[in-house]
Amino acid sequence: MDMLLARDSAQDFSSHGRLTSDESSNAAETKPIKIIYICGYGRSGSTLLDILLGQQRSMFGAGEIIGLSQHVYLNDEYCACGERVSSCSFWRPVVEQWQADQPRSFIEEFRRAQWRVGTVFSPRRWFGGRDLDAFSDHTARLMRLMAERSGKTAIVDSSKWPGRGMALARIKGIDLHVVHLVRDVRGVAWSLSKAYEADAAKGLQRVIVPKPLLYSAARWAYVNLAAEWLCRKVRPAKYLRIRYEDVAADPVGSLQRIASLAGLALDPRDFETGAFNPAHQVAGNRLRMQKEIRVKSDDSWQEEMPERKRKLLTRACGFLLKRYGYPMGV
């Protein structure tokens, strides 16, 4: 990975659409880059929605962009295209341009700044300062490089963290649209109660350990309430709450709602086959490593989860289940 972090490696790599630092600074002052930010809790279908949106001619599905500096380049993980990110035709030139003329510690310093301003109650985001400035400047440049290389109108970021969405909302040059993706807490908790072995080639970078039901319920409620708070930061006109179950039942209608939110039009040709193909999503669940996806709702919890566990989760999160339109007696 030294070749990705070393300053002079970027000088040796010739890539499509390369910008100098001065040109990038000038570009940042032009038309704001449109970002569709998928916010919500894990196992709620964010990777699926990212892939569906990325299928559209006007949108680039990037996956969980927050992971780039956290672990993707550090571990040289797989892109959805099947290549390691150090060899990916999209991500390698983008990141090399992004860190060109920066010190060797750039990625690590950005990772720390991103963490500090990306928590829900971050004082650094509220009061500004060096961390917020660094996050804002470098994130805006990364997003613009991604847009230029992809040739798409909008970038889809499925990082999910509400705090990251609040930080993105502070960046000049970014036109942020938030999609709050919700899934029934009973389906989420049941999915999180299962264990998976690590398999990097299949998109599982580490061992997944089971989560206790009430832990998942508490985190689900906290994250979704924080996502509702994010709505106040971006204004209702740029916020859409949508359910995973509705996306699975009517993907075309759901995508049309999101496109309308962002002021984009969908091309009917993108729905002709009924199949969707991941492209260059980084980070996210193992779904992104499949070659072809046909949308189908995962509602196995309704048959497999013991009734006492369903009732426990219903009592614990009933106030939000009602708000989001879920039946209480399932």
State the Cα–Cα distance between residues 170 and 128, nearest whole angstrom. Answer: 10
Question: Structural domains in the chain?
Answer: 33-323 (3.40.50.300)
Q: What is the pLDDT of residues 229-254, one digit of tens each?
A: 999 989 999 999 999 999 999 999 99
SS3 for 281-319 is CECCCHHHHCCCECCCCCCCHHHHCCHHHHHHHHHHHHH
Q: What is the pLDDT of residues 197-223, one digit of tens each?
A: 767 676 766 667 899 999 999 999 999
Identify the CA nearest to 53 among candidates 251, 286, 322, 297.
251
Q: Which residue has the higher pLDDT, 26 or 180?
A: 180
Stated pTM of the model: 0.89
DSSP 214-236: HHHHHHHHHHHHHHHHHHHHH-G
The Cβ of residue 174 has, within 10 Å, a number of other Cβ atoms equal to 20
Retrieve residue 131's tokens. Answer: 């961390």
pLDDT at 20: 45
Quick one: average pLDDT of 77-104? 95
Quick one: average pLDDT of 186-191? 97
Cα 182 to Cα 121, 323, 329, distances in angstroms: 22, 11, 18
pLDDT at 197: 75
Report residue 91's pLDDT band, with 50, 70 and 90 as the boundaries. very high
43 φ, ψ to 5°? 60, 30
The Cβ of residue 234 has, within 10 Å, a number of other Cβ atoms equal to 18
Number of helical (H) and strand (E) elements in the chain, helices listed first:
17, 5
State the Cα–Cα distance between residues 244 and 39, nearest whole angstrom. Answer: 12
Lowest mean pLDDT among 61-65, 94-98, 223-227, 281-285: 281-285
208 φ, ψ to 5°? -100, 115
State the Cα–Cα distance between residues 284 and 39, nearest whole angstrom. Answer: 13
